[in-house]
Structure 1
Amino acid sequence: MKVILIMVQSINGKVRLIINKNQPWSSQEDKKHFSKVTKEIGVVIMGRKTFEEIGKPLDKRKNIVLTGEPEKYQKLEKTYQGSLFFTDEKPESLLNRLEKEGYQTVALIGGPTINALFLEKNLIDEIYLTIEPVIIEGDLSLFSYVQGTYQFKLNEVINLNNDAILLKYQKQQGR
């Protein structure tokens, strides 16, 4: 099972605004890239806070939300039956289950707590990171809660527009 982390950050390394968290600051090109790739993959995994910021499941994708209290979301899960699932499964068992369901790749879409959880278990194979040419008053970075050192290799740099770039990294073998 391949895990691709897909995130966007400002040039000062932040992934979320402190104030007015729903104010858009990423480019249309990044949004189109994110939508295209995650729809092709078919399943996204995120944390509860990320889901709450988005406010609803992403269309045409299986949305899996990691939370310590999945039972609190049973009613919401039923509202979006078949596209939204809340779970407290460990990352390894979740990935095994998804693989048995026929998925070959998953998109990990944050936040920093979930990113760190998967990274520290050596489960992230690739990172697609868009760098937007903005400086924002943010409170979180891509891996705010990571301990240790993890090596990735830059495989590709794509210009999304005149100012934003997409960096594609791959996990170093043996790490």
Structure 2
Amino acid sequence: MIIVMAGGRSTRMGREKPVLKVGGKPMLLRVYGEAEKVGEAFVALSKNTPKTRELCLTEGIPFVETPGMGYVEDVGWLLQEFGPFVSISADLPFVKASDIGSIAKAFDGETSLTGILPLGRVPRDLKPVVYRNYAVVGLNTVGAGEEKFFELSNPLLALNVNTPEDLKLANEIARLVGR
């Protein structure tokens, strides 16, 4: 099962990120479209994302409403309600089905895998979250067991759209790569 996480408050952006357009298409539709190529997928939203709910209803995308108390709490709630799953942030506009498929294939249903990129693969204009010389990306698996890193290869996974500047950069990249 693949869950697109789209229920955050978007405080750094100042507006709901999943409905913002990259390359002329809402980020949620970009991410969900890739996820459903891999397997059963739905969107996790919350009271914080009414426009995202509206988009899901309009597009016929299945969704569930989480308590909306925070990312960690919502992930825990989803694990309890649905069991182990692949988690993708709705603000990863350049995630590909192959990225999702690779982490899903490695998932044993127990071990949580945190998607990472070696810093050498990260384009220099991006400012990812860094941990132990790796960029941590918003593509993971969630299980009840131990946590491990899972190395991905798509350098554009390092672009997590959190700020207006990130959105501008994502649109520039989309124009350049034709996505």
TM-score normalised to structure 2 length: 0.36
**By percentage of residues, which structure has more strand?**
1
Higher relative contact order (CA 8 A, sep 6+): 1
**By percentage of residues, which structure has more helix?**
2
Q: Which has the larger radius of gyration?
A: 1
TM-score normalised to structure 1 length: 0.37
